[in-house]
Amino acid sequence: METNQILEKFNQGSIRALGRAITIVENREKDSDYLLNELNKNTGKAHIIGFTGSPGAGKSSLIDSLVAYLRKNDIKVGIIAVDPSSPFTGGAILGDRIRMIQHSTDKGVFIRSMANRGRTGGLGIATKDAIKVLDAFGFDVIIIETVGAGQTEIDIVKTADTVAVVLNPEAGDDIQAFKAGIMEIADIFVINKADLPGAGRTRISIETSVHESKAKDDNWLTPVIMTSSFKTQGIDELWNKVREHYNHLNTSGELERRRFKNLNSEIIAILENKLKNYLELKLKENESLNIIQKAGEKQITSRIAADEIFKRL
Amino acid sequence: METNQILEKFNQGSIRALGRAITIVENREKDSDYLLNELNKNTGKAHIIGFTGSPGAGKSSLIDSLVAYLRKNDIKVGIIAVDPSSPFTGGAILGDRIRMIQHSTDKGVFIRSMANRGRTGGLGIATKDAIKVLDAFGFDVIIIETVGAGQTEIDIVKTADTVAVVLNPEAGDDIQAFKAGIMEIADIFVINKADLPGAGRTRISIETSVHESKAKDDNWLTPVIMTSSFKTQGIDELWNKVREHYNHLNTSGELERRRFKNLNSEIIAILENKLKNYLELKLKENESLNIIQKAGEKQITSRIAADEIFKRL
């Protein structure tokens, strides 16, 4: 199918065209920029929600329950599951995604996995492009799920409008360490598997930390919600809080601020990627190779070598 | 103390001057490049050994036992403990380091912690600079210990001459996932806490993976060693394997290849950092701000905005 045909079908609501469009932008196929340009004016309408948390926290099941809840209310949901770290991703995500098959014949739900394998350029950029495509397609809500909680994943998820951090009661001592990197990105804390022992204690521990920490947003007190995706307990409360947060973002002007900040980061990431490619080309030239050789022979330090190459860029 | 005085004392073997010199390069103080240049010709002699592994694998105790063993054999050891991820680093590493106090009055051992806090530029670059200072000081062996096993930590540790990956018998199911990212960086696997149940099974599982995976170095079969830092069991075998690997690197020419490859990566990292700083300045200029503004208003895509800015660089 040609790109214009894909666009036409895309605008008519074809799920197949949607999938194809994401592939085009994800793989940076030749019409990728054209496509993004065509879709650009239709973006910015969806509420983008990020879910992160330690492995095994039950994020996928929780999202599964949330999606079921949203579909009952006729809310259209696009989901992007991101796993940057593992080469085994395909399998791991597939395992999680099987639980989501209940939604797979529903045209109001679309699920896509993204991983790092074979990618040139950042996973973060590819994810943002995929979000734009889902947004332009007309999903009301876009969920970004990150499998694990590494730095790359946190960098990706924190660009969502609303970030939910999922924890477990059993996490115990780990929570302390875990909170370190994510306290500042959470808009909502979710204690999942809240039927397990220790849930109450975990809640108090997190609430205490919320009060003691510097707020991400001075006008929003990060709530702590108890859920159990097994019993679908707390899902309505989770959704209410997510919407409450979105309303807060809209009325306070914070949404615009966050999105502009994200746009900035996105443009910087694209530029850094471009510069990296340019650098790789430059480093293959004889002049650069000679300088590196000199550093190899310890005639100059690597700092000086870098300076010399930089001057020639 | 002036830098030349520091250098003089450094060359006389003053531990205090060593500590000061590392601080200068770590914080990129004004004489940092001068210092690195002066020390450059004395680097390249130490055997750099990286230790990585999942949190709780007992890396610090293991290194502690190894250092005690090396000191008995009058081998001088510099240690750099790296924790890029946690803002709580100071505390965490300090806890580990307390066990190392037994070496603290010994002039043949030097320990330094490095973290990300307040750092401009990469932790990887700072770590490499610190290694150079230790190398020039005359340590026979330099150990890089990474706390945790995130991508940044793996990137740092894999620049060592010899990389030891530390695992536990209890790791159980985690090993499968854990192996994914690190199979390709290990020169030696260490099953620590080998007195715990499951150690034999873990060994077989790893040995099988070693045989099934693509070798990092076709002429070196990654050995699996069982240690217990509690009983100091296996420490001599570990050291013998580490030295055997070093001899292999030397005789096969692999050492030179690896170090040249690392030098390349280091220069690229320094250049990327320079470009990033340059970019940040450029983005503050009105011309760039206008372009970003246009993207914010969806007149153009972020890709096009990045292109426009790139053209003006």
ipTM of the shown complex:
0.83
Of A128, A181, A292, the CB nearest to B263: A292
- Residue of B42, B88, B261, B267 to mutate, interface with A, max A Cβ within 10 Å: B267
Tell if the CB–CB gap between A180 and B301 is shorter than 8 Å: no
What is the pTM (predicted TM-score) of this model? 0.75
Same domain, B113 and B26: no
Answer yes or no: is B261 within a domain. Answer: no
pLDDT-based confidence at residue A171 (cuts at 50, 70, 90): low
- What per-residue string of b and e applies to A166-191 under the rule 16 or more CB within 10 Å gives b? bbbbebeeebebbbebbbebbbbbbb
Residue keyed to tokens 């850094």: A272
Contact B169, B190 (CB under 8 A): no
Residues of chain B found within 8 Å of residue A122, distances taken between Cβ atoms: none
Residues of chain B found within 8 Å of residue A180, distances taken between Cβ atoms: 85-88
pLDDT surpasses 70 at A119: no
pLDDT-based confidence at residue A32 (cuts at 50, 70, 90): very high
The predicted pLDDT at position A95 comes to: 42
Answer yes or no: is A127 within a domain. Answer: yes
Question: Where residue B156 sits, what CATH number does that domain have?
Answer: 3.40.50.300
Same domain, A110 and A84: yes
Burial (0-12, 13-18, 19+ Cβ within 10 Å), A95: exposed
Residue A269's CB is within 10 A of a number of other CB atoms, namely 18
Report which DSSP code applies to B168: -
Residues of chain B with pLDDT under 70: 84-105, 116-121, 148-151, 170-182
Answer yes or no: is B258 within a domain. Answer: no
Q: Where in the sequence is the domain holding A1, given as residue range(s)? A: 1-41
The predicted pLDDT at position B117 comes to: 54
Residue keyed to tokens 């996105």: A266
Answer yes or no: is A46 within a domain. Answer: yes
Same domain, B27 and B74: no
The predicted pLDDT at position B158 comes to: 83
- Residue of B42, B85, B265, B271 to mutate, interface with A, max A Cβ within 10 Å: B271
Chain-centroid distance of CA B88 in Å reads 19
The predicted pLDDT at position A174 comes to: 47
Same domain, B18 and B106: no
Q: Is B82 helix (H, G, I), strand (E, B) or coil?
A: strand
The predicted pLDDT at position B112 comes to: 87
Of B88, B264, B274, the CB nearest to A177: B88
| Nearest-CA distance B69 → chain A (Å) | 32
Rg (CA), chain B: 22
Tell if the CB–CB gap between A180 and B33 is shorter than 8 Å: no
Tell if the CB–CB gap between B267 and A309 is shorter than 8 Å: yes
Same domain, A116 and A174: yes
Same domain, A161 and A76: yes
Answer yes or no: is A262 within a domain. Answer: no
Tell if the CB–CB gap between A267 and B40 is shorter than 8 Å: no
| Chain B residue with minimum CA distance to A183 | B87
Answer yes or no: is B305 within a domain. Answer: yes
Which DSSP string do the residues of A223-253 spell out, in sequence order? -EEE-BTTTTBTHHHHHHHHHHHHHHHHHHT
pLDDT-based confidence at residue A150 (cuts at 50, 70, 90): low
The predicted pLDDT at position B252 comes to: 96
Same domain, A33 and A130: no
Read off the pLDDT of residues A252-302 as tens digits, 9 standing for 90 and up: 999 999 999 999 999 998 998 899 889 989 999 999 999 999 999 999 999
Same domain, B101 and B233: yes
Same domain, B136 and B215: yes
The predicted pLDDT at position A98 comes to: 46
**Torsion sign, CA atoms A8, A14, A15, A16:** negative
Same domain, B280 and B229: no
Same domain, A136 and A71: yes
* Number of domains chain B is built from: 3
Q: Angle at which helices B32-40 and A302-312 pack, to 10 degrees?
A: 120
Same domain, B105 and B176: yes
Answer yes or no: is B262 within a domain. Answer: no
Sheet holding B141-146, edge to edge: B109-115, B77-83, B141-146, B47-53, B162-167, B188-191, B224-226
Rg (CA), chain A: 22
- Residue of A288, A302, A311 to mutate, interface with B, max B Cβ within 10 Å: A302
| Chain B residue with minimum CA distance to A277 | B272
Residue keyed to tokens 């983005």: B283
Q: How many CA atoms lie within 13 A of B37 on its CB side?
A: 11
Question: What whole-number distance in Å separates Cα of residue B136 and Cα of residue B138?
Answer: 5
Read off the pLDDT of residues A184-209 as tens digits, 9 standing for 90 and up: 788 999 999 888 888 888 888 888 87
Answer yes or no: is A204 within a domain. Answer: yes
Contact A128, A159 (CB under 8 A): yes
| Chain A residue with minimum CA distance to B308 | A271
- Out of A21-35, A99-113, B233-247, B256-270, which region has the weakest mean confidence (pLDDT)? A99-113
Tell if the CB–CB gap between A263 and B304 is shorter than 8 Å: no
Tell if the CB–CB gap between A272 and B272 is shorter than 8 Å: yes
